[in-house]
Amino acid sequence: MSVDYAAQTDTSLEVVKLGTHIGAQIDGVRLGGDLSAEAVASIRAALNEHKVIFFRGQQHLTEEGQYAFAQLLGSPTTPHPTVTSHGVRSLAIDSHTGRANSWHTDVTFVDRVPKASILRAVSLPSYGGSTTWASTVAAYAALPEPLKLLAENLRARHTNTYDYAARHNVDPTEDNKAYRAEFESAYYETEHPVVRVHPETGERALLLGHFVKQFVGLGKSESDALFRLFQDRVTRLEHTTRWNWTLGDVAIWDNRATQHYAIDDYDGAEHRKLTRITLAGDIPVGVDGRPSTIIAGNAEHYSVIDRIAA
């Protein structure tokens, strides 16, 4: 969709910053498909600046409303490259099938990494179940010069068959196994630069997370050690913000500038469900101008390539 950069912002929206590097709560707006161009421009600007933004009190939103709102911010993808959502247009983030308690950027195993995700709380446990986001821009910016140079010269292979068991200490349920099988039903692998240049802000961001299999040209053990080093930079608490959900909340994150982690600290018997819509993004480009390349899999059915910023 085309973008009206000239649109004035809506001054009735109140943006309350939550931390130096990441996070803002936005008040004074009722999300939906009928937002003014000014309100949409304000939301875009806030997302670029704060990386993840939160809206309380959006109980009126249905899945249709969430989708209509998403269309104002970009081109919604299909729910997922491999997980079929049985006719609905959003991806169910459902505690019955899995818990995303591992740091990641969404869908980095394809070339056209989505630019943003919009998540709406539908059912929540009585305690726990918050989500944490980290700024991969702040992580890059805080690197000492030699590590910046190292990261800028690295590329990494991302796949949808990452080592899930190594990062989880509990035995999977039958539902977990079925979800996992669907998740891996087609193989995807993409090579991305470890530092990508954000197409809108020009900021440099680390592009890593749990879909990374290995750095190109390195052996497995050295690759793992370097991955740990850079991931630890991303997840430094100073680079993060944490959101305690209430029903009707909506979070939107810039998937080109963040990683996130859903905290699994609620009882197994409790149901937690959110619905997610991702927006099409472009092909990441490294500091040297080299784009990401497909190693395996075709993601055309999942998403268009959104070459137009925002």
Using alpha carbons, select from 280, 223, 227, 224 the residue that is nearest to residue 256.
280
Partner that binds at residue 262, options ligand AKG, Fe ion, none, CB closer than 5 to 8 Å by kind? ligand AKG
Candidates 106, 249, 254, 306: give the one binding Fe ion (CB under 5 A). Answer: 106
| Calpha distance 17→105 (Å, rounded) | 22
Q: Is 115 in the site for ligand AKG (CB under 6 A)?
A: no
> Quick one: 50 or 80, whose CB is closer to ligand AKG?
80
Neighbours of 31 (CB within 10 A): 24
Q: How far is the CB of 134 from Fe ion (least distance, A)?
A: 12
DSSP 8-state class, residue 82: S
Residue 14 identity (one-letter amino acid): E
Residue 106 or 249: the one with the smaller Cβ distance to Fe ion is: 106
Among 43, 119, 124, 205, binds ligand AKG (CB under 6 A): 119
Whether the CB-CB separation of 303 and 78 falls below 8 Å is answered with yes
* CB 258 to ligand AKG: min, Å: 11
Q: How many residues bind ligand AKG (CB under 6 A)?
A: 10
Pairing between β-strand 273-279 and β-strand 91-94 as defined by DSSP bridges: antiparallel
Catalytic residue (choose from 157, 260, 282, 306) = 260
Q: Are strands 52-55 and 24-27 parallel, antiparallel or unpaired?
A: parallel
Closer to ligand AKG by Cβ: residue 75 or 131: 131
Q: Which is nearer to ligand AKG, 148 or 242 (CB)?
A: 242
DSSP per residue over 251-265, as a string?
EEEETTSEEEEE---
Q: Is 140 helix (H, G, I), strand (E, B) or coil?
A: helix
**What string marks each residue from 262 to 281 as x (binds ligand AKG by CB under 6 A) or -?**
x-----------x-x-----
User: What is the smallest separation between the CB atom of 129 and ligand AKG, expressed in angstroms?
Assistant: 7
For the chain, count helices (H), then strands (E).
7, 16
Question: Least distance to Fe ion from the beta carbon of 117, Å?
Answer: 7
Catalytic residue among 80, 104, 112, 158: 104
Q: Does 90 bind ligand AKG (CB under 6 A)?
A: no
- 119 contact, one of ligand AKG, Fe ion, none, CB 5-8 Å limit per kind: ligand AKG
106 part of the active site? yes
Q: Which residue has the tokens 């070459």?
A: 307
Q: Tell me the C-alpha distance between 249 and 153, whole Å.
A: 39
Question: Under the criterion CB under 6 A, does residue 93 sit at the interface with ligand AKG?
Answer: yes
Helices 37-50/63-73 angle, 10° precision = 80
For the question of residue 104 being annotated catalytic, the response is yes
34 is annotated as an active-site residue: no
Q: How far is the CB of 74 from ligand AKG (least distance, A)?
A: 16
Residue 117 touches ligand AKG, criterion: CB under 6 A: yes
Q: Among residues 106 and 203, whose Cβ is nearest to Fe ion?
A: 106
167 is catalytic: no
| H or E segment and range at residue 225 | helix 220-234
User: What letter would DSSP give residue 77?
Assistant: P
Of 117, 115, 68, nearest to 91 (Cα)?
A: 117
x-or-dash pattern for ligand AKG, window 148-187, by CB under 6 A? ----------------------------------------
DSSP tag of 238: G
Tokens of 115: 């630019």
List the catalytic residues: 104, 106, 260, 276
Interface contacts to ligand AKG, rule CB under 6 A: 93, 100, 106, 117, 119, 131, 260, 262, 274, 276
